[in-house]
Amino acid sequence: NAGVTQTPKFRVLKTGQSMTLLCAQDMNHEYMYWYRQDPGMGLRLIHYSVGEGTTAKGEVPDGYNVSRLKKQNFLLGLESAAPSQTSVYFCASSPGTGGLRRSPLHFGNGTRLTVT
């Protein structure tokens, strides 16, 4: 089983460029999340989704947009990249209501993004 797959693994952007990060999970999980990881700051939640067609803002949503058109996919978009968005981005999924008791968040291996 693949679990949670993130593409691409690495990307370098110039300021002002746009890109989309793709997260795909094959576990039929309801909930999906996008986090960013920065040194000394742990992981901070950007956006999340509790089901197909729904999204919600997390702790640091500014500068990002998301879409969950299909249950298995959660896309993170940067419309106009800024150097402050240089980070490692992690996608995660979980089964849904009550699922946290039975199963933890499953993480992808991350996307390392550099904005110059």
Partner 1 sequence: AQSVTQLDSQVPVFEEAPVELRCNYSSSVSVYLFWYVQYPNQGLQLLLKYLSGSTLVKGINGFEAEFNKSQTSFHLRKPSVHISDTAEYFCAVSPREGSSNTGKLIFGQGTTLQVKP
**Which residues bind to partner 1, rule: CB under 8 A?**
4, 31, 33, 35, 40-45, 48, 50, 56, 58, 90, 92, 94, 96-97, 99-101, 104-105, 107-110
Nearer to partner 1, 9 or 70 (CB): 9
Q: Residue 107 Cβ, how far from partner 1 at the closest point, in Å?
A: 3
Three-state DSSP class for residue 34: strand
Q: Which two tokens stand for residue 78?
A: 């940067």
Contact predicate 111/13, CB 8 Å: no
Nearer to partner 1, 13 or 105 (CB): 105
d(CA 40, CA 26): 32
Nearer to partner 1, 31 or 64 (CB): 31
Specify the length of the chain in residues: 116
